[in-house]
Every structure is written in C-alpha cells, then in structure tokens.
Amino acid sequence: MPSDHVLQLCASSETVTAALAKQPNQPVSKIVKELFGKGGAAVKEHTTATKDDHHADDLQKAERCGKFPSKPSELFLKIYNDVLTTLDSDPLAGLVSPSLLASSGVIPLSIVSVIPDIMRHYADLIVRAEHEVFLATNYWEPSHSAAIVADSIRELSKRVGTRGDGRRVVVKLMYDRGNLKQVVKNHVVVPPAGWSKVGLPEEHEIPGVQLEVVNYHRPALGTFHAKYMVVDRKVACLNSNNIQDRPNVEMMVHLEGPIVESFYDMALLSWSNALNPPLPLLSKPPTYGDSFHFKDENNYLKYIDAEEASKHTRGFLRDQHAVNEAQEPGGQAGQTDAEQQTQGGNPERRESMDSSAADQRRSQLIADHPNMMVPHQSQSGESNNTVAQSQQNGTADSGNAPSQQQTTSPQLDLNGSAAGSNPLALDDHTRTADADLADAAKTEDHRITEGDNGAAEIARRLNIGKNDLAATVEDGDGSVLSDFRPHILHEPHAPCPIAMVNRNPTGTPGHEDVMKVPQNVAWLSALKYAQKSVFVQTPTFNASPVVPATLDACRRGVEVTLYLDLGFNDQGEMIPFQGGTNEEVVNKMYKMLNEEGKGHQKNLKVFWYTSKDQKRPISAAAKKRNCHVKFMCVDDQIAILGNGNQDTQSWFHSQEINVLVDSPALVAEWLHGINANQNTLQYGRVSDTDGVWREGGRPDGEVVQASGVATAGMLGRLKGLTGAVARVRGTGGF
C-alpha cells in the first residue's frame, strides 16, 4: 500500500508548475530542489515490489492518491498502487509532481498510420495555438516532417500578426542531438544562429513567435526519448514517432482534460533550465468542465475528413512500391520472376532508375503527401478560398475531389522558408467567409470503393522516404482495403482514470533496480496481474525483466500476444548486455516453454509485423516496412502506451513518457484500429516450436528471417556497436 509519506506527497497542493509560477524566471531545477530536495530525492527508502495480495485498504489508499472522477477498476488500482511505491525513494521518480501523477481525461482522437498523418495533426494544433506550444522529440532531423513543423511555426507567426493585440506566442522545442557540451550541462540552449542548421525558421521569419530551443541528453546512455506536445495547456499529444522521415507505422493519442496538467508539469521538469521567456499560461491554470466534445463537435478535430485522409494514405502507400521496382533489378528477395509479374513487377521499369534518382523520388513522395502541407490562413485573417486536389503523381483521385477551383500542391523547401500554406486543408474551423465552402466540400461523396482501396494504393501510402515496395496482397484478399483508417475518432466517453508512468534518463552504464522506475513497475505489474490476456506491440522485445515476466504469465494460463518487428535494430541489439535480437529472444522463449513440456507455449502467440499491403513480414533492416507503435493492453481493461519500447535501452536508460489508461471502450477501439491497419494477425504468426516464420505456417514452408535465431558471434557484436551509437544519438528511429 502507499506509505504515509506517499499519501502526503500526493495530497499536497505543491507542484513544480505552481512554484515556478511564483518565480517564473528561476531555473526549473532550482524550483525542484526547493520543493523536493537535491535531485528530487526524499529521505525514505524504496520499500516494496509488486505483490499478489492487495487488501481493500491498499487499493483505497491508492485511489486517494489520484484525482479520479469515478472509481478505477481493480486492475488499474493494483498497477497504480505498485507505481506509487517508487515515490518513497524519489518523489519525482515519475517525472511529474506527485499530486499530478494520476487524474483523468478523454482521448477523442488516436492515429495509427504513417508519420505524415501524425504531422498533419501537429501542424493543425500549432497554427491554432493562442498562447504557447511545448514540443518534445527524441530526434529532430532535417526532413519533410521537420519542415512541416517549421512551416507551422511560420504560419502561426503570420496568424499572430493578424490579431493586432501585440501578444506573441511562445514556442519551446526540445530534442536530443548529442553534443560534447552536454558532458558539462545536459540541457544545452540552441542559439537562434543555429536554428536554420536543423531546418528551423530563422528568428526574423517569425516575428509573432518567441522560440526557444534546448538540446537535451544525459551522457553517455541517457537518451531523451520522449515524444509529445502540449498546446495552450489544453491539449496534449503523445506519440511514438520522432520528427524525421521513416517508413514506420506509428501511433499518436490526443488527450484533453486534467491529465494535460500532468503533461505540462512533466514538460517543465524535463526542460530544467530557466524559461526565457516564461510560458504565458504558467500562472493561469485552466479549468475543466464536465463535458468534452468528440468527432465533428471537437474544434481540434474538425479538419479531419476521415474518408479522404484514408484514401490519401492508401494512395501514398501504393506509390512507394513503384520506386523500389524501378531501382531494384532483382525484385524482392525470394521472389520468382512469375511472382514479380503477378505482383506488378516491371523489370524494364526497375532498370530505368538509379539509386540517386530513386532517393530523390522517395523524398518527393513525402513532399507530395497532402498531409505534409500546413493549414493556411492569409494575413488578412481569411483562409484560402480554394479547396484543391493534388494532381502530382496521382496522390489524389480526381473523381472524388471537390469540384471547386483546383491548384497544385506547394512543395516544402527544406532549405528555405518553405511554402507555408496548404490548399488541400478542409480547415473549416479556421475559416471565416469560406465556412460554407468547407462544409460543402466535406459533404462530397468520399466513400472508399474497392478500386480506391486496392493493395497497390495501400502500398503507395506505406512507402515513406527512401523506400518503395510492391504489394504482395492481392485486391481480392479480404485482409486489405476498406478497413484501413489512419484516424480513430473515438466514440464519446466520460473522463477516465489516467496515470503517468514515466522514467527519468540514466546516463551511466548498468541496469538499475527496475522497481524504482514507474514505467517498469507498471509494465511488470500489468503482466503479473493479468488474468486472461496481454497484447503488446513494440519494435523490440529483449529487456531482461520483461522476458521472464511474459513467460510467467503464459505459465499461469494467460494468453500473451506479441506483435514485434522482424530485424528491427538487430545490429544494436546484438552487442553484449543489450538483450539480443527479437528472433533470438523469441526462439529462446519458445524453446524454454517447449522443454518444460506443459503446453504453455500455446499461450504465447508471437507475430512479426506484416504491413497492410503484404502477405509476409519484411526485415526492418530493409527500411521499407516497419512498425514503431509502443502499446500494451491487459484483460481488455487497461492500456499502457507512449514512448517506451520493450528493450534494454528503454527499460534502463532513456527518458520515456507513457500513460496508463483505464477504459475498456478505448482499449477495444485501439485494438481494432491497430489490427485494421496491418496484416500482422492474418500473416505474421511464427511457429510455437522454434519462433521461426514459415510460409503458410507449414513445417516445409519457405522461411523468412533477418539475422536468424542463432546468437550473434564476435563479428555480429562488433557490427552492433554501430547500431548502439546510433541509438544513443537518437539516429536509429527509436
């Protein structure tokens, strides 16, 4: 149960946010020391680990430690009770003031799709900011994804100029790009002279915005792996993707309600430095009513035309495979000539494009994506009065576009001030005189037909950046097509219990006590208390605590389903103490359960991620089809999602931000959306004898492997050092 010390901490009205509001020019780190002592450490020692027997009094005390609108489920309270024990040794173990560790909120939107769909939502929130934006990402890479953020800041500055009230919007950006200065000071301020070098606007371009940038890393291994945004202290976004172009399916959730205060406090703690300038809303805490808005009634979501967005995404995936065919003379590994022809292969076309031309085309595909444009409002205060269709490279279908004036999509300029407008945005919540036009456009028939939604279109949507891959699913397969939806517009729901389960970064090598870290305790407790089912999707799965906990759940009769990436970061995972590749780990898990002879291997169901346009998994090393989602749900009741992978780096070193959500309705919608946007369930299952994927699940079926199940030798470990360096620098797409 929570100790009296923890009960007192959670009942206190003291928060880092409130204390900083009284001294807004002080470094956040100084405020932390004044509130909680040096480094945030308390005098109490860590007292307990997870346990099976929770008395009613334990759970009642745990409930008192959160600001919940209704009684949470027993499973949620058991997990939260265990998380609270981490505060005994460090009140800020959760990277948030204790009284804000758990509250409530609603999640009107989730996105499970490629990065452009998530960046479009970021862009829309940024340009509509009234006071402040706080954006954090692990790796900020000059890219189309970074350009849309930069252009959004430019557009925000223009909108501020039309208000005429003299108020500038404050924008804070934090990322991790390793710097030698961080050996002395972890939080390095990036001066305005350095902004353009990473694709940010120059200071003179954004007179309406006060931008401050911090580069944060805790040497040597303490990566800032967080990925989130808070806008106007009203909305928080938590996502799996970095600000870079990667061929990944990612996940983002949009949160509103009291839990946003927890994100706000956590962001300040992460910043650590003095805020220059202070955030305008620092001394103005929001008030939350009893009702929240969903779907078209939510002003933040009105730009979303779910059907049209789905169609654009499918078309984007279709385009990607053409470049791979044009560049790669041999098609996909293991394919016969006949298979290449039936799947749209064209040897003549493949030979017509060299590597450099293919790279340029892949980059252009991202630029052409309709969601990589910024919602525009002219300086006169009126939005563009045209709703255009993209005519470049077939990214939009003329038959379904609105019939009003058509224009060509502007291109994002990664080296200049960029286009700054999006004639494709049906952005009726920013329109004035053109509101009727936007509404009319949205009522056009955008229904998806089988022709719009074929396997080739899915392939085009999934082909991101420097990759292009042909679909191997045929249009007649029932696994494809009409159920592919980037946006999950959640059904209306009351605020549900939500707790933050984060981890602070640890720079020193070694594996600390996992039971002192809220994130790790939440994951282990969820596995321990599961009674029926556990579902996990993560790119990597090798952390030393999670593997035995998963096996124990299987031995108790719990069905554990793992969606993992084949070959994701294999080089980095091969080096000593990293835990091994996914293939190695899964093989060992099945071997152990089979050798025990009790049939528990049937409770472990492992799948390699298989994209929506494919019938077989593809090694992530090819950088053509990856899934970067980080999600766990247990007994169809609770979910844990956010930044953390199930690997050694996330468990023991990186800063991670995650939420524990108590809502069967949301869990069901997430599971449906996750499965709808991939073919993993249909085609990705590995053998429960050795963890190897074979065609059709037959013992004699063709094997698909990346590094294989054998433990890496010395050469493999040496190669792995390269991957390890990339991971620490944030360049590996983690």
Each residue of 386-419: pLDDT tens digit? 223 332 322 323 232 223 333 233 333 333 333 3
Q: What percentage of the chain's residues is helix, strand, coil (to nearest 5)? A: 40, 15, 45
Q: How far apart are CA 175 and CA 136, in angstroms?
A: 6
pLDDT tier, 453 (very low <50, low <70, confident <90, very high otherwise): low
Strand duo 496-500 + 102-114: pairing = antiparallel
Q: Which residue has the higher pLDDT, 149 or 362?
A: 149
Task: Tally the residues of the chain.
Answer: 734
Question: Residue 380's pLDDT is what?
Answer: 32
pLDDT tier, 1 (very low <50, low <70, confident <90, very high otherwise): confident
CA torsion angle 111 117 119 120 (round to 10): -110
- For residue 342, pLDDT over 60 is answered with no
Contact 288, 233 (CB under 8 A): no
CA end-to-end span of the chain = 35
> Quick one: average pLDDT of 157-180?
95
Each residue of 226-280: pLDDT tens digit? 999 999 999 999 999 999 998 899 999 999 999 999 999 999 999 999 999 999 9
Burial category of 409 from C-beta neighbours within 10 Å (exposed 0-12, middle 13-18, buried 19 and up): buried
Q: How far apart are CA 257 and CA 709, in angstroms?
A: 46
Q: For 670, which DSSP code?
A: H
* pTM for the full predicted model: 0.84
pLDDT mean across residues, the chain: 81
Q: Is 209 helix (H, G, I), strand (E, B) or coil?
A: strand
Each residue of 475-487: pLDDT tens digit? 655 555 567 889 9
The whole-angstrom distance between residue 712's C-alpha and the CA centroid of its chain comes to 30
Q: Write b or e for each residue in 300-324: b if 16 or more Cβ atoms lie within 10 A of its Cβ, otherwise e.
A: bbbbbbebbbbbbbbbbbbbbbbbb
Question: Residue 576's pLDDT is what?
Answer: 76
Taking Cα atoms as reference points, which of 105, 100, 131 lies closest to residue 16?
A: 100
Each residue of 34-47: pLDDT tens digit? 999 864 444 444 44
Strand duo 631-634 + 487-489: pairing = unpaired
Which token pair is 366? Answer: 């991202």
pLDDT tier, 569 (very low <50, low <70, confident <90, very high otherwise): confident
Is the preceding peptide bond at 220 cis, omega within 30 degrees of 0? yes
> Quick one: average pLDDT of 66-84?
97
Q: In the chain, count of helices (H) and strands (E)? A: 22, 19
Contact 260, 192 (CB under 8 A): no
The helix (H) or strand (E) run that includes residue 32 is helix 28-36
Q: How far apart are CA 414 and CA 360, in angstroms?
A: 13
Q: Which residue has the higher pLDDT, 313 or 304?
A: 304
Range with lowest mean pLDDT among 103-117, 165-179, 333-347, 539-553: 333-347
Is the preceding peptide bond at 277 cis, omega within 30 degrees of 0? yes
Q: How far apart are CA 632 and CA 242, in angstroms?
A: 20
Taking Cα atoms as reference points, which of 385, 361, 359, 388 lies closest to residue 373?
A: 388
Extended beta strands in 95-219, E state: 102-114, 132-136, 169-175, 187-190, 209-216
Q: What is the 3-state secondary structure (H, E, C) of 39-91?
A: HHCCCCCCCCCCCCCCCHHHHHHHHHCCCCCCCCCHHHHHHHHHHHHHHHCCC
